Chains A and B, each alone.
Chain A
Amino acid sequence: MTISRRTFGKLTLGAGVVAPVHFVRTAVAQPKPGDELVIGVWGGAQERIVKEYCEKPLVAKYGCKVSYVLGSTVDRRARAYSERGRPSFDVLYLNIFESRQAVKDGVTQAPTDAVPQFANLYDFAKLGGYGVAINPCTIVYDKRKASKPITSWKDIWNPEWKGRIAWPSYPGAEGTAALLMTAKMFGGDEKNVGVAFDKIKELKPFAAIQSSQDQLFQMFDQGVADLSIEFGPFVRKYAETRNPNIEIANPVEGQALAMNVACITVGTKNQKLAEEWINFHLSEPCMLAYAREIYYSPTVKNLNIPDDLKQKLVLGADAQKLVDFDWDIVTKSQPAWTSRFNREIAG
């Protein structure tokens, strides 16, 4: 094949354009001391745990600096969306459905095996980022007010709870779980939630609609409500430290899957550091710290879990049994469902 001068020129130009990209990639891939990794995460116990079990080893290994932007999932997501492609975060933590949508929207990266612990993740934790904590939603209730222990999602419709339920607000992980589990119980699914709205309406009047776990704890403390749907793990912490009358149900139909997900932003300049950070998060010390402090269940399979923790966590076969949903439909339907929830359930 002969190459004309013109073609040669084009090729050289092309190589010239591509070459820096190649060099830049290798340059970025090697963290330098003093590089700054920016993490968007919740405050309180979660901030403390990652500082201890991700920041310390990462800084020791690379001499980098880690900074945090603290806030709620919705703030972080809104910011990440407005900064798409030029992110000020390197890693941000989202809930399960937000994380999968963020990958589709080109805001965050799909997970890869560049994170060594990726191989040990449960399958459902490999979508839309790296699942880091299983935090299933289930029924929580005051056992003194129950004629018999709750064993099914349908028990919510037992007349003894009438007027005593704090239904979880929608949108939100708990509200989504409550809505979709109701649909599932009564012959509907993600595509047919009408039946769920009708069944939830039957439960009215509610004691209140609860918007956060802290607000629910207050309602339990003050005897305002006796039953709700909430993240099981932290309610267990509450029950053990504050209110032994609260029971965390394990319905035969399964608990609803909810999960915290670590996501690397598209356009991060600290790819390698971000991947290392997530690998530390998925390491045994960090996973066990989460399990011990707030009973979040691990998303990786290769851990040695002490026996005293095992019974409080969702592990192995139980984790595989968690009820998962088609999050694409859930995300697309959110505005319509919100509108319906506001008009028919709340208020």
Chain B
Amino acid sequence: MSASAAMASGVSQPAAPRPALSRFVGPALAAPVTIWLALTFAAPLAVVVLLSLQEFPDPFGPIVQPPSAAQFAAIVSDPFYLRVIGETLALGAGVTALTVLLGYPLALWLTRVPARWRPIAFAVILIPLLTNVVVRSLGIVLLLAPDGLINQVLGLVGLPPMRGMLYTHGAVAIALAQVFMPFLVLALYDVLQGTSPRVHEAAASLGASRVTRVFLVDLPLSLPGLRAGIVIVFLMSSTAYVSATLLGGKKVWTTGMLVWQEALQNLNAPLASALALVMTVTSTLFAVATFMIVQRLMPWRSMRAVSAMSVPGWLTRLFDLLGPPLGKLLLALSLLLLLLPLALVCIQSFNDVPQATVAGFRAFTWKWYERVLFGGAYAESFRVSLELALASALVAIALALPAAFALARFRFRGLTALTAFWTLPLSLPHVAIGVGMLRLLQAYTAVPPFLGLMSVHVVLMLPFAISLLQASVEQLDRVQEEAAASLGANAARRFFLVILPGLTPGLVAAGVMSFLLSFGEVTVTSFLTTARMTTLPVRIYAEATFSLEPTVHAVSALLIVATILALLLLNRFVRLDRLHAR
């Protein structure tokens, strides 16, 4: 059966909005995000651009100087930089592929988990975002070490151990796939949820097996979510540097690492800024290319005819034969990767050892929990982070929701350029944003610290919130809104009684994601933190710059328990799935 048939039978086409209205409504919906970014993000971005045009690094010189292309010339003419940029892009592509391979089965699993277990399943997916990068890296090290888990399994089946798995591109890719998987899964979850069961029934009645339906129904219909997930994962992995440092052992270079090194260790802000911009441009080009390729794969969305796809019989038989075991294997692998940090956190948070990176269990202790809960400093940082994350997530959602409607339902001049601008905070390495903010520190410190930190956190969350919500809005069933309108519901009633309930899964996903992004943000925050406003990740990071203690495991354990409780509570009041899926 063709994908277009699936579309026609299940999801209604968006009705074209009335032209007179759309002229003003679209731009009005796009305005809040644009204004917010113009106020808080455009300034550091402009500083980064100006710095990249400076000929020599001068930490005390004026920001505006006669422009020079010297930094860009140095980058383009240096094989080392070109190699690192190429390797970073390749790493990003590899991580994205791995994330899709592991994340897709996981997203399918999540939609099929019985409703009452769903909060737990959500929490499992979010584990990597709830644990510190050091904990996650430790997990990957224990997996790939010469005497690690993989080699022990190999030993059991009589195979020789594989040495040299650590400190390679593969190790970094696994680490990044682990932490970015939640972003892809959440982007997919809502869209997969949105597929009407009628589509599956229609496909089944035409003789499609379950596996065939995954490839020919679920996959094409989930392309908007997949596209959002791929762009997010690619951009995040192309700016990553902490995991790359911890698991690459400097045998793996990323542009993010070079930007950090030049900006902070060598105080060469111009070169760092130029590198960041080159990276931003190349990865944005990738994002645009992905966007356009996937758009071509979905001709039904632009009302173009689709020729029916015929799949040879032998291929469907092969799918049916290999699909189930392969799917189960991939699901098992991704669950293992997600649960690995949890197992470590459970053991390590009670381990009486001086450093967080110790692998073996020595003796039982409560002291790390005591220090976190009653140590004063930790509890205070925890409170700061909690308030900051809650406020930032609320503001981000409030700004992103209208923007998502603008993207999904309106076409107006400049929309494409605006979309690119909205995505920029994601493709510009966070270190570079930090460097830009650093030059504006005097102006920044005039703003109350909480407001200042919140405004920057919101900037960093917006790309995620917008893309998750855009996919959600696109999935809304317009027929329901039309029905409500025909029964006399005005716009406000339609929004609160029809649209908002329909968006609940997307709002929850975007809200949880925004909350966790803010709660874990350290790169930019560490430049902006003040003596009275130390967030929890900044405290942990500061400790890690000397030697990290197992308090970090206790923090992760508490965070995981709190998340499970919060999701269970949330599940009592709002359903995490769509109406027709119940």
Contact = CB atoms under 8 A, between A and B. Distances in A.
A69 B530 contact: yes
Interface string B139-175: 0011001111000000000000000001100000000
Contacts of B377: 47
Contacts of B60: 81, 84, 105
Given A70-B539, A82-B438, A88-B530, A209 B249 contact: yes
B545 interface: yes
A103 B263 CA distance: 20
Given A45-B547, A234-B547, A338-B265, A223 B147 contact: yes
Given A218-B141, A222-B141, A241 B353 contact: yes
Interface in B531-557: 531-532, 534, 538-549
Nearest to A335: B266
B267 A81 contact: yes
A155 interface: no
Given A237-B354, A346-B253, A347-B250, A44 B265 contact: no
Nearest to A209: B250
Contacts of A38: 531
A44 B148 contact: no
B529 interface: yes
Nearest to A221: B359
Contacts of A272: none
Contacts of A217: 355, 357-358
A73 B549 CA distance: 19
Contacts of B216: none
Interface in B94-150: 134, 138, 141-142, 145-148
Contacts of B268: 335
A47 B540 CA distance: 12
Given A79-B527, A218-B138, A211 B59 contact: no
A81 B439 CA distance: 10
Most buried by B among A43, A84, A171, A241: A43
Interface in A68-114: 68-75, 77-79, 81-84, 86, 88, 105
Contact of B549 (A44, A75, A88, A207): A44
Nearest to A172: B265
A130 B75 CA distance: 39
Contacts of B360: 221
Contact of B438 (A42, A71, A78): A78
B130 to A, nearest CB: 21
A242 interface: yes
A213 B547 contact: yes
Nearest to A70: B542
Interface residues of A, number: 58
* B253, B527, B542, most chain A CB atoms within 10 A: B542
Contact of A69 (B59, B357, B534): B534
Contact of B547 (A69, A73, A75, A214): A214
A178 interface: no
B253 A347 contact: yes
Contacts of B354: 237-238, 241-242
A223 B80 contact: no
B356 interface: yes
B438 A342 contact: no
Contacts of A77: 264, 267
Contact of A86 (B147, B442, B549): B442
B322 interface: no
- The interface centre, meaning the residue of B264, B265, B540 with most chain A CB atoms within 10 A of its CB, is B265
A245 to B, nearest CB: 14
A79 B549 contact: no
A343 to B, nearest CB: 5
A215 interface: yes
Given A208-B166, A221-B358, A238-B355, A42 B546 contact: yes
Contact of A72 (B246, B530, B542, B549): B542
B209 interface: no
Nearest to B246: A215
A151 interface: no
A346 B250 contact: yes
Contacts of B441: 79, 82-83
B146 A222 contact: yes
B253 A67 contact: no
B141 to A, nearest CB: 6
A43 B545 contact: yes
A9 B92 CA distance: 71
A320 interface: no
Interface string B247-262: 0011101000010010
A195 interface: no
B445 interface: yes
Contacts of A78: 263-264, 267, 435, 438, 527
Contacts of B290: none
A224 B166 contact: yes
Contact of B527 (A75, A169, A234): A75
B542 A71 contact: yes
Contacts of A218: 138, 141, 357, 359
A210 B251 CA distance: 10
B13 interface: no
A205 B540 CA distance: 33
Contacts of B359: 218, 221-222
Interface string A215-239: 1011001111000000000100110
A233 to B, nearest CB: 11
A46 interface: yes
A334 interface: yes
B419 interface: no
A71 B146 contact: no
B543 A71 contact: no
A39 to B, nearest CB: 8
B245 interface: yes
Given A42-B546, A73-B545, A82-B441, A68 B531 contact: yes
A308 B245 CA distance: 38
Nearest to B551: A44
Given A69-B529, A221-B359, A343-B80, A43 B264 contact: no
A306 B166 CA distance: 43
Interface string B349-372: 000011111111000000000000
Contact of B546 (A44, A207, A210): A44
Nearest to A211: B245
A347 B438 contact: no
Given A105-B60, A214-B356, 11 more contacts: A75-B527, A78-B438, A105-B59, A171-B266, A214-B134, A214-B355, A214-B357, A222-B142, A223-B146, A334-B265, A335-B268
22 contacts: A42-B542, A43-B542, A47-B542, A67-B531, A70-B543, A74-B264, A79-B438, A82-B438, A82-B439, A84-B60, A88-B531, A172-B265, A208-B249, A209-B250, A212-B545, A214-B134, A214-B548, A221-B359, A238-B355, A242-B354, A334-B265, A335-B268
Give 8 nearest A-B pairs by CB, closest first. Answer: A208-B249, A67-B531, A70-B542, A43-B542, A209-B250, A43-B543, A72-B545, A44-B543
Interface of A: 36, 38, 42-47, 67-75, 77-79, 81-84, 86, 88, 105, 166, 169, 171-172, 207-215, 217-218, 221-224, 234, 237-238, 241-242, 334-335, 338, 342-343, 346-347
